[in-house]
Structure 1
């Protein structure tokens, strides 16, 4: 991959990650702020299954927010990688930062950009699963429970 193509791909992926980290976090924060109000207005706070739904929504919200923070951190790492002249030096810079932060041991050779993107896509899939659990729990606690 040429240097310009590598920088463009890493930059586009970082921008996409910021978007993918922001919108679920925004929906989760908004949903968690209105969930108790909606449940109490419907009288669902006295139903045990509705309370379990609210607790599941709160727990999955924490997981979604955690994944959003991780994706934001990854976006910053991809922007750092894109700021370097070539893929090898960008990958080495990321590995150096992660080793200094004691998050990962320094590898013998930097991983290529496509491997890093694949790992972040797995993290993105986990965030989407946690977001789906949040949506189901939120709808269950706030709207589907009988009065």
Structure 2
């Protein structure tokens, strides 16, 4: 069992669930506001982008759990490539990407999730502040 892949999967799952739960809660709060404003629409759209990236992150966590379940890193990476090819998400590669390369790619995805979440929070704060202080 690959402990690095398991720990990385746990970290991804915790962060993905945290971002997802907070985003859903804030979007429910947004639902009770006046939805006819463009700001609400932009905030909701950015929230859906965060939720999409969160779902993608949880899928990545499941893939890293699959890597962790195999006896060797190479066998786990090969199993992930076979699964992605079977699901028609990627072609089966000539050379197997090892764990460090996969973790680097997932860290870039995590950065995109963080940026999307910050944009969502800024838009939500703007809508909330505008709603609290009245019409300008």
Whether TM exceeds 0.5 here: the answer is yes
- Secondary structure at 2:97 match in 1: coil
Where has structure 1 moved over 2 Å in runs of 4 or more? none
Q: Write the deviation string for residues 63-121 of structure 1: whole angstroms up to 9, x where unpaired.
A: 00000101101101000001111111111000000000000000012101000000001
Number of aligned pairs?
A: 133
State the TM-score, normalized to the length of structure 1: 0.85
State yes or no: 1:70 paired with 2:56.
Answer: yes
How far residue 144 of structure 1 moved from its aligned partner, in angstroms, is: 3.4
- Structure 2 unmatched ranges of 5 or more: none
State the TM-score, normalized to the length of structure 2: 0.91
Structure with higher RCO (Cα < 8 A, 6+ apart): 1
Distance 1:124 1:113 in 2: 16
Aligned to 2:22: 27
RMSD over aligned CA atoms reads 1.5
1:42-81 matches, within 5 Å, as 51-81=37-67
Distance 2:10 2:72 in 1: 19
How far residue 23 of structure 1 moved from its aligned partner, in angstroms, is: 0.9
Distance 1:83 1:32 in 2: 36
- Structure 1 unmatched ranges of 5 or more: none
Aligned to 2:75: 89
Q: Which structure has the greater CA radius of gyration?
A: 1
